[in-house]
Structure 1
Amino acid sequence: MGEVVATIKLMPESPEVDLEALKKEVRARIPEGTELHRIDEEPIAFGLVALNVMVVVDDAEGGTEAAEENLAGIEGISNIEVTDVRRLM
């Protein structure tokens, strides 16, 4: 099996959500077997900023599912979406 890097977009509930607190919570919720590569901010509109979380996971059954479930449970996040998945060479 190989490794893949996946980008998961986290959309905050509102522009008032503390992004630094969200980033801290993301780091704390990365599951075992998943490596956090980086977190980027993406301006959306009207002060709303999404977080693009890049993680490296094994290309096993389930893939990003554990990370998605953990990140979806963060307070202040309205939805999440896997926007990109690429195999590492």
Structure 2
Amino acid sequence: MGDVVATIKVMPESPDVDLEALKKEIESRIPEGTELHKIDEEPIAFGLVALNVMVVVGDAEGGTEAAEESLAGIDGVSNIEVTDVRRLM
């Protein structure tokens, strides 16, 4: 079994959400067995900025589910979406 790197797009509820506080909350919510690689900001429109959270997880079935559930439960998050999954060599 290997590892994969997954990118999860975290969409704030509004442009008024404090991104630095959201990043700290994301860092504290990363589940066991998941490694946070980095968080990038992606401007969307009208001042709204999404966060692309890159995590490393095992390539077993349902590998990103724990991280998805944890991130979706954060206050101020509108929705999350896995946008990319790549196998690490």
**Into which bin does the TM-score normalised by the smaller protein fall?**
over 0.9
Q: Cα RMSD between the aligned structures? A: 0.4
TM-score by length of structure 1 reads: 0.99
Query: Secondary structure of the equivalent of 1:23?
Result: helix
Deviation (angstroms), 1:61: 2.1
Deviation (angstroms), 1:76: 0.3
Question: Structure 2: how far apart are the matches of 1:11 and 1:3?
Answer: 25
Query: Secondary structure of the equivalent of 2:61?
Result: coil
Question: Structure 2: how far apart are the matches of 1:62 and 1:8?
Answer: 14
Query: Secondary structure of the equivalent of 1:31?
Result: coil
TM-score by length of structure 2 reads: 0.99
Q: Which residue of 2 aligns with 1:31?
A: 31
Unaligned runs of 5+ in 1: none
Taking only the aligned residue pairs, the percentage that are identical comes to: 88
After superposing on structure 2, the runs of 4+ consecutive aligned residues of structure 1 that deviate more than 3 Å are: none
Unaligned runs of 5+ in 2: none
Q: Deviations over 1:47-89 (max 9, x none)?
A: 0000000000001121100000000000000000000000000
Q: Which residue of 1 aligns with 2:64?
A: 64
State how many pairs are aligned: 89
- One-letter amino acid of the counterpart of residue 66, structure 2: A
Question: Structure 1: how far apart are the matches of 2:88 and 2:59?
Answer: 10
Question: Structure 1: how far apart are the matches of 2:18 and 2:26?
Answer: 12
Question: Structure 2: how far apart are the matches of 1:38 and 1:77?
Answer: 18
